[in-house]
Amino acid sequence: MSTIDLSARRTPPLGGFNATILGLELRRMLRNRRTVIFTLIMPVALFLIIGLNSKYVHESAGRGNVSAYVMISLAVYGAVLATTSGGAMVSLERALGWSRQLRLTPLSSTAYIALRMAVALALGLASILVVYAVGIATGKASMPLWVWITTAAIGWVGSLVFAAFGLFMGYLLPSENVMQILGPVMAGLAALGGLWFPLQDGSTIQQVAQFTPMYGLAELARVPLTGGTVEIGWVVNILAWLVIFAVGAAWRFRKDTARV
């Protein structure tokens, strides 16, 4: 009886992370009608309805107009919804037994998390770019070029916080439709973050809202347009929530791998 040569076997580079799985994962996201509607179509539709209102087009806001202000807010909203969806896909994959299947392959858990984050950020970027592209095409949002670029960059990088949030929720909630639960939560957080309508400075609601997870990101993403000073509280808000969600995700991830 022969035996198989064990010494000839190697482990894959980068823990198994590769371009093929990244491409296939992106294709999967775009096949999901719900994801496409909520992260790519809805922010654009809301911008077309709200942002192009002639009152907003003619009202100035810092270095541009209110249309630009609305556009940034909706792009950030689309991005955080996209990254949350991307992270929360682990929930579906656990429910389907796919994460268990992957643990029987050389793909390391670090590479798996990196893959989820990369897919989430790619979708977040797509969400921002689609809204900005429509903003350019319609020609109503007005602000200097460098503000277009900086606001998009801040919104995108900041949406990483919600990739961690999605991952945390994905490990916490055993469901195939975790986004149905998270959808209303996200809408509520967006309201508190001032993404739907500006919060009155010093109002009671603003006092509370400044501690919620979208507040810091919304303020920071719009500051190149509004031209105010960057408040340290915004940055603390973003970093604190990033740590909370990342620690939560790591905690649930460990529980998950110990049990499955």
Partner 1 sequence: MQQTQLMAAPADAATSSISLRGVSKAFGPVRAVRDLDLEIRQGEVVAFLGPNGAGKTSTIDMILGLSQPSTGQVRVLGMAPHEAIRRGLVAAVMQTGGLLKDLTVAETVAYTASLYPTTAPVADVLRRAGIAEIGDRLVGKCSGGEQQRLRFAMALLPDPALLLLDEPTTGMDVEGRRAFWTAIRSDAARGRTVLFATHYLEEADAYADRIVLVSKGRVVADGSAAEVKKLASGRTVRATIPNPDEQALKAIPLVDAVEIRGDSVLLHSRDTDEVARHLLTRTDARDLEITSRGLEDAFLALTRDEPVATTGALA
Question: Which range touches partner 1 (CB under 8 A), out of 23-31, 77-85, 146-154, 203-211?
Answer: 23-31
Question: Which range touches partner 1 (CB under 8 A), out of 8-16, 149-157, 166-174, 235-243?
Answer: 8-16
> 230 in helix, strand or coil?
coil
Give yes or no for residue 32 binding partner 1 (CB under 8 A): yes
Q: Rounded to whole angstroms, what are the CA distances from 199 to 32, 206, 207? A: 34, 6, 10
Q: Site for partner 1 (CB under 8 A): which residue of 1, 137, 145, 232?
A: 1
For residue 31, give both structure tokens: 């096949």
Question: Which range touches partner 1 (CB under 8 A), out of 15-23, 132-140, 219-227, 231-239?
Answer: 15-23
Give yes or no for residue 180 binding partner 1 (CB under 8 A): no
The Cα 130–Cα 167 span in angstroms is 24
Name the percent of the chain in helix, strand, coil, to the closest 5.
75, 0, 25
The interface with partner 1 within residues 92-111 (CB under 8 A) comprises: 93, 96-98, 100-108
- The DSSP string of 30-96 is HH-HHHHIIIIIHHHHHIIIIIT-HHHHHSEETTEEHHHHHHHHHHHHHHHHHHHHHHHHHHHHHHT
Question: Which range touches partner 1 (CB under 8 A), out of 27-35, 156-164, 230-238, 246-254?
Answer: 27-35
- Count of residues binding partner 1 (CB under 8 A)? 35
Give yes or no for residue 76 binding partner 1 (CB under 8 A): no
Q: Site for partner 1 (CB under 8 A): which residue of 145, 202, 232, 259?
A: 259
The nearest distance, CB 111 to partner 1, in angstroms, is: 9
Closest of 44, 167, 52 to residue 115, by C-alpha: 167
The footprint of partner 1 (CB under 8 A) covers 1-4, 6, 9-13, 16, 18, 20-21, 24, 27-28, 31-32, 93, 96-98, 100-108, 258-260
